[in-house]
């Protein structure tokens, strides 16, 4: 196990490989997403038990709408199941101190899901042990555009001058405003790219890749990522 004093504060996880996992087993892609959701629950609670303060899971990107409608519908139903189970596990989640937040453009998400998302966020807003961010209809570029538009409006209204704009101004308009940048980005499935995930927040993140497909990802794999992180030397541009 990694040195507890060197655990990352904020971990980002790209949950990748669900479709390939299903194809290798001759199953529908939706079955891979369902199995991936089970792994999400396990890693989510494990990270909280370890004391990691922020965990951001990449659940559904702005580009994922391009997938077949049947697959998109199956993913939306998985979100419905998660939200229903979160209500049923309310006491357990409260005891763990879990705060749930959804980051992304929720305006395009089905109304019934958006309503339950809002209820879950409100119900857990006072929890402080671990914040779980679920990136849904999320894109890193779109997030930065959203912040820039906010700033443009402030300049137009005379609230600030262009010269007042700095990194903090941009960060205040991000979905993760008030949260620390990502320390560690984990991507299973053999791919080695960000795929439009936390582009601003991962400027100095450490990266850990694995060939394990997300539905096969275990707490042991998570431990390996944390151990690798604990051995990294983070200089943030210094010597």
Annotated catalytic sites, by residue? 16, 64
Segment holding 171, helix H or strand E:
helix 167-171
Longest dimension (CA), the chain: 59
CA distance 208 to 226: 9
Which residues, 6+ apart, have CB-to-CB distance to 102 below 8 Å?
117, 121, 133, 134, 135, 136
DSSP letter at 188 equals: -
Which residues, 6+ apart, have CB-to-CB distance to 204 below 8 Å?
181, 234, 236, 237
Cβ pair 179, 130 in contact under 8 A: no
CB atoms within 10 A of CB 221: 18
Cβ pair 1, 45 in contact under 8 A: no
């Amino acid at each position: 196990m990694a040195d507890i004093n060197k655990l990352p504060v904020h971990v980002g996880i790209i949950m990748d490989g669900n479709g390939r996992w299903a194809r290798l087993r001759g199953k529908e892609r939706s079955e891979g997403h369902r199995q991936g959701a089970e792994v999400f629950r396990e890693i989510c609670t494990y990270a909280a038990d370890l004391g990691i303060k922020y965990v951001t899971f990449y659940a559904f990107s702005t580009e994922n709408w391009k997938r077949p409608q049947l697959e998109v519908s199956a993913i939306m139903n998985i979100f419905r199941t998660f939200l229903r189970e979160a209500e049923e596990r309310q006491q357990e989640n409260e005891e763990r101190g879990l705060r749930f937040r959804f980051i992304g453009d929720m305006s395009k998400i089905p109304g019934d899901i958006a309503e339950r998302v809002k209820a879950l966020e409100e119900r857990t807003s006072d929890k402080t042990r671990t914040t779980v961010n679920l990136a849904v209809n999320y894109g890193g570029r779109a997030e930065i555009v959203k912040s820039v538009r906010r700033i443009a409006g402030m300049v137009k209204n005379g609230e600030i001058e262009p010269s007042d704009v700095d990194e903090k101004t941009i960060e205040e308009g991000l979905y993760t405003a008030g949260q620390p940048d990502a320390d560690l980005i984990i991507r299973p499935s053999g791919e080695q790219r960000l795929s439009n995930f936390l582009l601003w927040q991962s400027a100095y993140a450490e990266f850990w890749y694995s060939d394990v497909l997300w539905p096969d990802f275990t707490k042991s794999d998570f431990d390996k990522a944390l151990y690798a992180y604990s051995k990294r030397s983070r200089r943030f541009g210094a010597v």
